[in-house]
Each structure stands twice: as C-alpha cells, then as structure tokens.
Amino acid sequence: MRLSRALNDKKMDVRLLDKMMHEGRIEASEVRKYQEGLPDDATNATTTEEVERKKREKRAQSQQQDS
C-alpha cells in the first residue's frame, strides 16, 4: 500500500512532470486539475528582505539590552 501511495505522490513531482507528460503517462488536464486543488500558501511566504530585517531588529534589541 505504501509503494502505491509513494508512486502516486511522485506522479506530480515537478522534476518528473515533463518526462511523464512526454511519455503519455499523465495528461496536462490531470496536472492542471491537481494544481488547482492545491491550497494557496501565499500568506505563509516570506522574502529574504523580511528575514534580514527581522535579524537586524533582533540584533539591535539585543545590543540595547546589553548596554
């Protein structure tokens, strides 16, 4: 049962999609349907600038506490 699930998960692996579509093992419509069903995680995204800004703020707070 695990092997079947693992193979199904790999079916939509972006590294394999082009190859599988070329071989006819998966249809573009199936990929589109799968992608449309994925949740939107845009609210969880962070940029490098945000991460760096938070690091600088944390360092500044730490330096103020040490003074």
Could you give the residue ranges of the DSSP H alpha helices within 12-47?
17-22, 28-36
Q: What residue spans define the domains of the chain?
A: 1-37
% of the chain at pLDDT higher than 90: 43
* Prediction pTM value: 0.53
Average pLDDT of 42-50?
A: 88
| pLDDT greater at residue 32 or residue 6 | 32
Per the CB < 8 A criterion, the answer to whether 52 and 58 are in contact is no
Give the whole-angstrom CA distance, residue 4 versus residue 20: 17
- The answer for residues whose C-beta is within 8 angstroms of residue 27's C-beta and 6 or more apart is 21
Q: What is the DSSP letter of 45?
A: -
Whole-angstrom CA distances from 57 to 17, 62, 67 are 42, 9, 15
